Copies of this chain bind each other. A is one copy, B any other.
Amino acid sequence: RARSRGRRCSVTGTPLLLCCYLAYLALGTSVFQALESSAARDSKEGSKSDNWTSLLNYTCLDRQALDRLIRDIIQRYKSGVIFLSNTTSMGRWELAGSFFFSISTITTIGYGNLSPQTMGARLFCIFFALLGIPLNLVLLNRLGRLMLFWVQRWALWLGGAQKNQARARWYAGSFALFSGLLLFFLLPPILFSSMEGWSYEEGFYYSFITLSTVGFGDYVIGMDPGRRYPVWYKNLVSMWILFGMAWLALIINLVISLLESSIVLCPCSRRNPCRT
């Protein structure tokens, strides 16, 4: 009976959840619009007055022809026809680039700095992702469980030493949280700033956008043709992506269980928590 109640709750609570979702989207929309549109307007004004003339100066084109040229170049850039004479191996369909593309596909990060152009590669990409995404989730699940297992084991050992299980578990949990935060979010930007020349804030933003699998592709490692990237760096970043995603998945699962157990999202009685 508890099961059918939980199901009924999931039916009646959905409109409320949908309202929360839409309100949250509206909040995001307005804040992003407010923060970015003025900056975009400024830079657009700047580019119109300053950069346009500088570009017009070193070509022999009028504004309209230059506009067409720029659109043409961007179109070709987006469709993967690479004009630039020197790109890194990460930016081409070589071993490093293809490997990084495969990782970015099955982790669903999808930076999009490389994307398949031929129909065959696109079709293969679909089948590759269809099996690869679940495989990646299984591996992340396994890694997350392993990390939890070691933390719990350590908590048990600590509890035996301190003769206080609850406090030991609390210690171990917060230690795991903060060491993860340090290892996956606070230290990597230092590495990125030395290898990529990004600022600390940019590296932090890149770390979050990558590990949350959003992957806008505005920052991608290993793409600056003016820099040398050692092999250990690329491998370390791959390991960081894997373990960081597993850690962040644990955190996101924690937030999900907090959200789902919250009374706001499911108007059931307290005595009858809404879990199917």
Contacts and interface: CB of A to CB of B under 8 A. Distances in A.
Interface of A: 7, 10-11, 13-14, 17-18, 20-21, 24-25, 28-33, 35-37, 39-40, 43-44, 47, 51-52, 55, 58-61, 65, 67, 69-74, 76-85, 92-95, 98-99, 101-103, 105-106, 108-112, 115-122, 124-126, 128-139, 141-143, 145-146, 149, 201, 205, 208-209, 212-218, 252, 255-256, 259-260, 265, 276
Given A201-B119, A208-B126, A216-B110, A93 B37 contact: yes
Contact of A124 (B24, B32, B37, B67): B32
A139 B40 contact: no
| Copy count, this protein chain | 2
A35 B136 contact: no
29 contacts: A11-B149, A21-B136, A28-B101, A29-B99, A29-B101, A32-B116, A32-B125, A33-B98, A35-B118, A35-B120, A37-B92, A39-B118, A43-B81, A44-B81, A51-B76, A51-B81, A51-B83, A59-B59, A59-B69, A67-B83, A73-B74, A77-B77, A80-B218, A108-B213, A110-B217, A112-B216, A126-B205, A138-B265, A213-B213
A146 B60 contact: no
A13 B260 CA distance: 32
A138 B67 contact: no
B146 A14 contact: yes
A93 B40 CA distance: 8
